[in-house]
Every structure is written in structure tokens, then in C-alpha cells.
Homo-oligomer: A and B are copies of this chain.
Amino acid sequence: MELLENYIKQHGKYADGGIVIVNSFLNHRMDINLIDAIGKDFYDHFKDSKPTLILTVEASGIGIACLAARYFNVPVLFAKKSASKNVKGDLYTAEVRSFTKGGVNNISVSSDFISSDDRVLIIDDFLAEGQASLGLLNICEQAKAHVCGIGICIEKYFQNGGHILREKGIDLHSQAILDLDENGNLIFKHI
């Protein structure tokens, strides 16, 4: 997605270890016109698979999922990272390791809001080792829901997540794919 690549080129900042900081437009401050275009791009890619539900995980995925959901006209369900009095009853829970924050989180959704009748589009901002996506897939499996595909804003091709998901035969749509060249510099990859 050219617009997102241009944002990353112009406004992204880089740190050691292939970390790209996009908090000026994507996952802290959110440039709403970009996020809306991101939602439209997910719609253009996934509309024919007719999702009934967009599933994401708090926190950065929520805004992106909501703007995509407007185009699809379907609800958003966001998995929670911690127990809350607001989530009652039976849960589907999956374990997710975070490589950026460290540690392991359980993510949970109420079993009331996802079922075998659902066609689920999973959306998230980043794909690195794939832990969040695998956790969300696990939740879909528990609910026996059909997975239409996974939409990602930024995939880090030099980490394993994308490869794992593609090997599973999942329709993975990454809007910007970052790889490392032989000198360790981040480059855009088009596959």
C-alpha cells in the first residue's frame, strides 16, 4: 500500500534490532486519514470473502479495525489482555508472548460474541513473530469460526510470523512489508 509506505519513509523512525517506530501516525498518534485509507485497503482485499466479524486485540489494533469495519459494515470484537469486571461469563483464551513489551499475556474474548456462524477477518497493526495473530487464530478455532484472512498494516519479513501464517494457507494481506538488506538496513519488500 503506497500511502502507508510513504508514511513509513517520511515519518518512521528506526531503532536497533529492526524496530521501526511509527507512533507519530499509526499506533500512538493516529493520522485518521491514513487509518481510514488502511481500512479501505483491507476492504478492497477482503470484501469478496464476506466477513461477518472483525477480530483484533487491544490496544493498537482497535482503531484500525473500527475504521475497516465501517467499510465492511460488520462489528468489531477486540480481545482483552487482562481480566476485567466488564468481561463476564465463558471466555475463549489464548496465550500470547510479546516481543516488544516482554512477557506473556493471556488474551480473551467472551464466547458470547464469536461462533461457528462467523466468518472472521483478523486485523492488527504489526506482524513480527506472529504471536498475536496465532493467538487470535486459536480463539477462532475454539469458537469453530471460519477465518477469512488476516490483514496487517506492517509485516516484518525478517521475523517468522508471516512465513508461519502463509504456510498455514491463510490469506495474509500485509499492507507494507519490511525486510533487512545485507547491510541490516530496512527495505520495503513486494511479494
Residues of A within 8 A of B (CB): 13, 15, 19, 21, 23-24, 27-33, 35-36, 58-59, 62-63, 65-67, 69-70, 73-78, 80, 82-88, 100-101, 109-110, 112-113
Contact = CB atoms under 8 A, between A and B. Distances in A.
A122 to B, nearest CB: 15
State the main secondary structure of chain A at its contact with B: mixed
Contacts of A35: 66
A66 B69 contact: no
So how many copies of this chain end up in the complex? 2
A63 B32 CA distance: 11
A92 to B, nearest CB: 12
A74 B31 CA distance: 7
Contact of A76 (B23, B30, B78): B30
Given A28-B77, A30-B76, A76-B30, A82 B101 contact: yes
